Structure 1
Amino acid sequence: MGERSFTAVGAGFGSQPQRKNTRRISKIIARDRWLYFMLLPGVIYFILFKYLPMWGVLIAFKNYQPFLGFWHSDWVGLKHFTRFFSEPTFWMLFKNTVILALYNLVFFFPLPIVVALMLNEVRKEFLKRFVQTLVYIPHFFSWVVVVGIFYILFTVEGGVVNELIVKVGGERVNFLISSEWFRTMIMTEVVWKETGWGTIIFLAALAGVDPGLYEASKIDGAGRWRQLWHITLPAIRSTIIILFILRLGHFMDTGFEQIILMLNAMNREVGEVFDTYVYSAGINQSQFSYSTAVGLFKSVVGLVLVLATNALAKKTGEEGIY
């Protein structure tokens, strides 16, 4: 009897903090209910379009037949991966994808940081907002519009760029079908379209820098460059590292829509990447399992890069993304 009473008392004491925690959580949810309501569409979106479709990657290990359905198609293990890695097109796709991805990291990734730093130095608010609006606008153009604009500018027949080349005594260059100019054209379009939009996060990070640090540095005789190196860049270093890690997660994503619009028979050797290959194999040739295997390989590479870079960032004293 004594043991039962002791157990009951102990259970009562143990459950009381739990009830308090439950009531506190309920109060927090009730207080912030509208914030959770605003969060709901985003949660539903990620569940429906990001998490549930993950089951579809299983067809990479099946010989998927639409008429048989998902469950009745035969399992084939790593057959599609073996086929993909043994095909001669693999190394061409890997090379083209990695080169464009490196171009993105080397040439595009630093540009939003540079533009944000430059805008942060503009003291006239009207001029600053005008320039911000000007560089943001291309982000809202679709890739069809962007590629169309570049076609008009760089076409051999009446293109502004070629007309200028002829006027200065040069010869017309067919930029649009040249394999030598393909990657340069791709990066030029990306830089023009997305650089301004990428500055938003960095400008927000710069807005959080304590102005008192700049005042103190001026008293110590520091100029603009020293303030930039010793105050501004260290203040946004964590933001840069986090965005760099996230960017590596999309390392193999080179932009399907843009590249498929720029591809033609003359530049396919340097322009065909994993994204366009998945489209041609999966949609045009109905090789659903094979194209899923290619896409899964691309995603696994991105995951490995994120995990490795995040671990490296933590070893250097940064927070990382988790």
Structure 2
Amino acid sequence: MTVTPHVALVAVDWGTSHLRVWALGADRSVLGMRRSDEGMGATPCDRFAAILESHLEALGVAPDVPVVMCGMVGSRQGWAEAGYLPVPTDLGEIAVRAVRVPAHRRDIRILPGLSHTDSKHPDVMRGEETQLLGLARRRFAAGRGARMVCMPGTHSKWVRQDGLRVEGFASFMTGDTFSALSAHSVLRHSVGPDATAVDAASPDFRLAVAASLEAPSAILARLFSIRSAGLLQGLSPNAARARLSGYLIGQEIAGARARFAIGDTVELVGGGVLGELYAAALACAGIGANLHDGDELVIYGLADAASQIWTLDAPRLTEQET
């Protein structure tokens, strides 16, 4: 193996569907990265170590370089269970509660997730807490009071955050529902396999968002109307996909408004098409958005947690004394 010099830390986001690995320098600069579809959901328990080491070898990471990880790899079905910190909590605690992967020659730590434990709104998150840490440290280190954070995805999160303190959050199965309905419900005939990605400027998308914001209780009827419009009005697959997306994202925003006092602006974590769709949907609701790159935040959050676990000392890290 050819060793890449000056790698001080490896940061890993290992979710259900995807694996992302970054080799970082002591100054948190990205020296190399790897992406794959070897998510936790497709990885047998006895394969985690081999998969990780194959990516580290490809990056030229020496055997004594430590690794800090977040995501579903720390779930009960993952490599090593890292548990949850109940909110409200200080995000600085996730480094304190990191779990070391047992019986491995390399020092590997997995960060815990967050939980909402009240009986009315039980909830959990894994991975997003590290982005929240990165957001607090990188963008709001000085603190400017409480703010709402919107984190689109398969299970979108809306978070009430004040500096490092997470006061509460709510998850919405928006992406999951979109995938299920478009592929496994009667709407699959309307959306079709050849529909293109939704355009945030699409009138069908924006009108659908507005409809869900105006009458959230009618969501199930509106969803079936997509099928009816295809049969009776010749609604195209692209327009059907735009409506489905708009109805669901609008419903999510309506649900978040019912749970939280959102205010005029949210911190929107995400990019690409999904970030554009949420920014457009929020604008339909009269809400502004400050856009943040999710990869940048998770790298920064992982590196910040590592700096609490270990003392950065390029080209290696030494564990802090406790």
TM-score category of the 2 structures, normalised to the smaller one: under 0.3
Structure possessing the higher radius of gyration over alpha carbons: 1
Considering fraction of residues, name the structure with more strand: 2
Whose RCO is larger (CA < 8 A, sep 6+)?
1
Considering fraction of residues, name the structure with more helix: 1
The TM-score, its normalising length taken from structure 2, stands at 0.22
